[in-house]
């Protein structure tokens, strides 16, 4: 069983910081969430004719599916942890907490979510180490 894990998460990448010994182990995980840049749609040849539009709903559905798959990959890495600290610059940290709260067999003793800016790996490790107390 893993004791302490810190996660810095953004829409593009997540850093999973595991504290299982003296030296922390940092694992980088790419999200593979597609960028939202719709292309397509065109005007008709008539001057005031109809316009074909791009279906935004399909793009958002693909993005939601990719986010859910990303969260499941993170969940596989943190299942059975006692202390979990989630931090990052965007809304993904809150969405991840909501996803983890929905997992019925995942109840860590300590779970905290904080906002954080972009950081280097050493800064991430220091922040997570400061929040997670040794077991």
CATH for 80? 3.30.420.60
Q: Cα dihedral sign for 88, 91, 92, 98? A: positive
pTM for this prediction: 0.84
In a domain, 38, yes or no: no
Out of 7-11, 40-44, 118-122, 126-130, which region has the weakest mean confidence (pLDDT)? 40-44
Place of tokens 């909501």: 98
Domain count across the chain? 1
In a domain, 91, yes or no: yes
Identify the domain containing residue 63 by its residue range: 4-31+55-131
In a domain, 50, yes or no: no
Bridge partners of 23? none
In a domain, 42, yes or no: no
Q: What does the pLDDT look like over 58-103, one tens digit per residue?
A: 888 999 999 999 999 999 999 989 999 999 998 999 999 999 999 9
In a domain, 48, yes or no: no
Q: What does the pLDDT look like over 115-132, one tens digit per residue?
A: 999 999 999 999 999 998
């Amino acid at each position: 069983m893993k004791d302490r894990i810190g996660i810095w998460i953004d829409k593009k990448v997540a850093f999973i910081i595991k504290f299982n010994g003296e030296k922390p182990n940092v694992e980088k995980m790419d999200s593979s969430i597609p960028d939202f840049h719709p292309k397509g749609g065109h005007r008709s040849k008539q001057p005031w004719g109809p316009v074909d539009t791009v279906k935004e709903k399909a793009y958002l559905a693909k993005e939601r599916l990719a986010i859910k798959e990303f969260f499941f990959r993170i969940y596989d890495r943190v299942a059975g942890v006692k202390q979990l600290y989630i931090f990052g610059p965007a809304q993904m940290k809150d969405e991840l907490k909501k996803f983890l709260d929905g997992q019925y067999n995942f109840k860590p003793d300590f779970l905290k979510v904080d906002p954080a800016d972009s950081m280097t790996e050493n800064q991430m490790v220091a922040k997570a180490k400061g929040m997670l107390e040794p077991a």
